[in-house]
Amino acid sequence: MALLEVKALKKHFTVSISPMRHATLKAVDGIDFSLDKNRVFALVGESGCGKSTVARLLLRLIAPTAGEIRFRGENILGLKGGALKAFRKSVQIIFQDPFASLNPRMTVFDALSEPLKIHGLAGRAELKDRVSELLQSVGLGDVLDSYPHEFSGGQRQRICIARALAVSPEVIVADEPLSALDVSIQAQILNLLLELKERTGISFVFISHDLRVVEYLSDEVAVMYLGKIVEVSKTEDLFGSPLHPYTEILLSSAPSIKADGRKKPELKGEVPSPINIPSGCPFHPRCHRRFEPCERVVPELRQYKGRQVACHLRNPAI
C-alpha cells in the first residue's frame, strides 16, 4: 500500500474579478499520484500551476473541492480527534521562507520543544537533550537560547527542518525549501535532505521549480501545468527522454541540464490564467508539437511505456 495516495483531487477557488462578478479559479483540477515509503516524489511546473495548493491540501490545511487524499489507506478528510492528531504528527511541512515560518519571539529551544510537548514525545527532563539532539542532526551546535534573527537563511532553514523532524514524521512536504536561500547554501541544505532521507527513511513530496535540484534528489517527478499533472516519470526517464512537450521545454530552458544535441524548443508566452483555461489540451496554445485534436480534446493522463503522460502525441488511438 502506498504511504500517501491522491485521487482525483481538485481545489477550486471562487475569486472576484470585478465588484459584481465572480469566477472559478481551478488551482488543482483533478490530479492523481502516490508516494511510497522512503521515496522522494517531486512536483515541478511554472509559477501558479498549483504546487503549493497541493502541499496545503496534503497537510489538510485547506479542504479539497473534490477527490481524496489517503494516508496509509485512510481518507484524511474523515480523520478526527486522536487519529487527526496522529496524522498531523506523521506529515510535516517545510516552507520556502524559513524566516516567516519561525516565531521571532521564540528561542530555538522553545520552537523545537513545542511540537515535542504537544505530542507528548518528551518529558520536562528530557526536553533539553532531545532538542540538542535534533539540532545536531541538522548540523547545528548549541544554539538553544538564540532567536531566529541571529541566524543566516540556511541556518534558519536547518531549524525549520529540525522542527519538522522533532515529531519523527513519515512524510515531509517541502515546498521550495531552497529557493529563498543563497546559491552557495542551497547545496548544503539539499545534501542535508538527502542524508535525512537515507538515515531516517522519511518520504518527501518535494516541490521545486529548479530542475537541477529535482534531478539530484527525487526518485519520481510529476510535471504540473494549470492544475493538472501532464507527466509522471521516474527521474532518470524524465530527464533522459521527456514524454510531454511541456516537460521537454522545461528541461531545455533549465540552464545547466545537459544538452544532448536535440533541437531546443522555447517556452512561448505566459501561462494562461487558471480562471480561463484553454480548451482541449491546456498547453496547446504554447505547444511546439500541437496538431489537430489538441485544441478540441482534453488529453487524459494515461499509461505509456510504464510512465504516465497526458498528450495526444502519445495516444495510439488518435
Binding region for ligand ATP (CB under 6 A): 13, 15, 25, 27, 45, 47-53, 209, 274
Size of the site for Mg ion (CB under 5 A): 2
Cell representation of residue 258: 545537459
Q: Which of ligand ATP, Mg ion, none has residue 49 at its interface (CB below 5 to 8 Å by kind)?
A: ligand ATP
Q: How far is the CB of 126 from Mg ion (least distance, A)?
A: 37
Cell representation of residue 58: 496534503
Stretch in the footprint of Mg ion (CB under 5 A) among 32-40, 51-59, 178-186, 224-232 = 51-59
Q: Which of Mg ion, ligand ATP, none has residue 13 at its interface (CB below 5 to 8 Å by kind)?
A: ligand ATP
What torsion do the CA atoms of 49, 51, 57, 60 make, to the nearest 10 degrees?
-150
The answer to whether 211 and 255 are in contact (CB under 8 A) is no
Q: What is the DSSP letter of 31?
A: E
Q: How far is the CB of 182 from Mg ion (least distance, A)?
A: 20
Q: Which of ligand ATP, Mg ion, none has residue 50 at its interface (CB below 5 to 8 Å by kind)?
A: ligand ATP
Q: Which is nearer to ligand ATP, 72 or 209 (CB)?
A: 209
Q: Which is nearer to Mg ion, 93 or 143 (CB)?
A: 93
Distance between CA atoms of 272 and 4, rounded to whole angstroms? 30
Q: Is 101 in the site for Mg ion (CB under 5 A)?
A: no
Distance between CA atoms of 130 and 42, rounded to whole angstroms? 31
Cell representation of residue 56: 496545503
Provide the 10 A C-beta neighbour count for residue 125: 7
Q: How far is the CB of 244 from ligand ATP (least distance, A)?
A: 17
Q: Which is nearer to Mg ion, 28 or 76 (CB)?
A: 28
Q: Spell out the alpha helix ranges (H) of 209-308.
A: 211-217, 235-240, 245-253
Q: Is 53 in the site for Mg ion (CB under 5 A)?
A: no
Q: Which of ligand ATP, Mg ion, none has residue 156 at its interface (CB below 5 to 8 Å by kind)?
A: none
Distance between CA atoms of 217 and 42, rounded to whole angstroms? 9
Q: Which of Mg ion, ligand ATP, none has residue 15 at its interface (CB below 5 to 8 Å by kind)?
A: ligand ATP
Handedness of CA 25, 12, 208, 288 (dihedral sign): negative
Q: Is 52 in the site for Mg ion (CB under 5 A)?
A: yes
Q: Which is nearer to ligand ATP, 163 or 228 (CB)?
A: 228
CA 225 to each of CA 11, 48, 50, 127: distance values in angstroms, whole numbers, following the listed order? 14, 9, 8, 44
> Which spans of this chain sit near Mg ion (rule: CB under 5 A)?
51-52
